[in-house]
Amino acid sequence: MGSEDTFNKLELELRRGVVVLATLSQLRTPRYGYELRQALADQGMPIEEGTLYPLLRRLETQGVLKSEWKIDEGPPRRYYSLNAEGRKLFKRLTGSWQGMNAAMGQLLEEE
Amino acid sequence: MTMNADELIESWVADVAVQLPRRQRNDVAFELRSLLREELLARAEDSGHDADVQMATGLLHDFGHPDAVAARYRPTLTIIEPADGHHFLKAMVIGLAVIWGAGLFVQLGQPMSSGWDLLLVVSRWWVGTVIPSLWWPGVLVVWFAMAAWTRRCWPSTGDWKPRANDRIQGGRAALLMGMVGIVCGVCILYEPGFWLDYFWSGRVAPQAIDALTYTEEFRQRQGLWLFVLLLLNIPLMIGVFISGRWSPGWRQLSLALGLLDCVVMAWTILDGPVFLSAVSNETAKGAMALIIAGVILTQAIRFYRSVTPMPDGPVRVQESQ
């Protein structure tokens, strides 16, 4: 029980670290909240709705996302996508992630 | 009153939105409601039956408490920095313990003759000390919040600064002032009545002189020891002044001197009167008790804060191959 709890907490920490990058990666094309969540889940990165939807607004406030209301087969939906600043940020974070990923790959392969 | 799934979502969305800034409240509420409905429809499709209250309740439960979700829409607000959490807790517990303990001590000093009196004392302590003592956590919150804000605005103020353990607090000037203070103190304490008479040009009432006149017994017993011990601080301080630091040897000497002072003061408290006047006597003994408590507390804190780097288990020696 204790070790399962520890695993869950640490796995959550790992996930938290990649939530923003995963979200940005799927916003190179405009998506609305539910669609984005589905896209992430389909690719093996499920993010809780209570985390993802507020995150979109926070990223928009931070000036890395742009959004607009659109009607496209259904009710009005708010579509989010990377703006110029967001694309730069995404590129830099991707570089950092790839560097860390390569280092971790080496670390984990040792012995 | 029972609510349907849509009303449940409306109520939840309203509880989230009301906590957001007015300029984004309606927009977020509209988006959230639309997303929740979509999520609910997807769950209904997955389960193969129409959305109902139970399903909506489950969805909202998974989403989280409205307070928590609303908080996620705003930038993180930190009142007390995580790094200060333990300091805050420690200061609060110690402060409250001191306030409550002092209050209880004062209340228990009241005459008690029955269990009813004890109950009265406890209730007076609760109303007069415990409840008003909540000002202390409040002061601490403000203090730590201001410290955190200062560090955020001016990060360099939070930089770590090295401190040498053997430094002289206040430098040599402070030592010099300390020595002058001891000499003046000894001169005044040796014959306080004389100085009172001198400064008031002989117009002091005899009762005032009596109040500051030592008993002959004290003068010949503890008085002599107390003055000698007090004066011994001067060569100690001269030594520290010359070496420019509190070396372990000086520290041990100072500790020994302080403890000897405490022993003689404890002996004085337990022995006969210090002054001819009963009031002065009680005041002097009270002051000595406070000094003893201060010295013991200082040493206890110093011991608690001392660090001696060493492994907490046996060290295995790696055999060379």
What's the confidence (pLDDT) of residue B247?
Answer: 87
- In which residue are the tokens 């109520």 written? B11
> pLDDT tens for residues B61-95?
999 999 999 999 988 888 999 999 999 999 999 99
> pLDDT tens for residues B180-211?
999 998 888 888 878 888 887 777 777 787 78
* CB atoms near residue A20 (< 10 Å): 16
B162 exposed, middle or buried (CB, 10 Å; 0-12, 13-18, 19+)?
exposed
Most B-contacting residue of A16, A65, A78, A80 (CB-CB within 10 A), to test interface: A78
Cβ of A33 and B75 within 8 Å? no
Cβ of B39 and A34 within 8 Å? yes
- The sign of the dihedral angle between the CA atoms of B275, B281, B283, B284 is positive
Q: How much is the CA Rg of chain A, to the nearest whole Å?
A: 16
**Residue numbers in B near A50 (CB within 8 A):** 62-64, 68-69, 72
* CB atoms near residue B196 (< 10 Å): 16
- In which residue are the tokens 């003592």 written? B133
**Shortest Cα distance from A47 to chain B (angstroms)?**
11
**Does residue B162 surpass a pLDDT of 90?**
no
Cβ of A50 and B64 within 8 Å? yes
ipTM of the complex: 0.85
In order of B2, B90, B133, B276, the CA distances from B211 in angstroms are 82, 43, 37, 6
Residue B233: name the closest of B165, B266, B185 by CA. B185
Which run of H or E residues covers position A77? strand A76-82
Give chain B's end-to-end CA distance (angstroms, integer).
80
- In which residue are the tokens 């002599």 written? B224
What's the confidence (pLDDT) of residue A96?
Answer: 96
Which run of H or E residues covers position B105? helix B85-108
Return the higher-pLDDT residue of B205 and A91. A91
> pLDDT tens for residues B122-153?
999 999 999 999 999 999 999 999 999 999 89
What's the confidence (pLDDT) of residue A92?
Answer: 97
Using alpha carbons only, what angle is made at residue A100 by residues A97 and A104, rounded to the nearest 5 degrees? 135
Q: How much is the CA Rg of chain B, to the nearest whole Å?
A: 34
Among the partner residues A49, A57, A77, nearest to B34 by beta-carbon distance: A77
CB B288 within 8 A of CB B265: yes
pTM, entire model: 0.68
Among the partner residues A49, A57, A77, nearest to B73 by beta-carbon distance: A57
**Shortest Cα distance from B144 to chain A (angstroms)?**
27
Return the higher-pLDDT residue of B320 and B314. B314
Whether A20 and chain B come into contact, CB under 8 Å, resolves to: no
* CB atoms near residue B277 (< 10 Å): 18
Interface residues of B toward A, Cβ cutoff 8 Å, are 24, 27-28, 30-32, 34-35, 37-39, 42, 62-64, 68-69, 72-75
Cβ of A54 and B69 within 8 Å? yes
* Confidence class for position B321, pLDDT limits 50, 70, 90: low
Residue B299: name the closest of B247, B251, B232, B246 by CA. B251
* CB atoms near residue A9 (< 10 Å): 9
DSSP state at residue B168: P
CB B37 within 8 A of CB B29: no
**Residue numbers in B near A76 (CB within 8 A):** 30, 34
Average pLDDT estimate for B100-124: 87
Cβ of B31 and A33 within 8 Å? yes
What's the confidence (pLDDT) of residue A3?
Answer: 84
* Confidence class for position A111, pLDDT limits 50, 70, 90: low
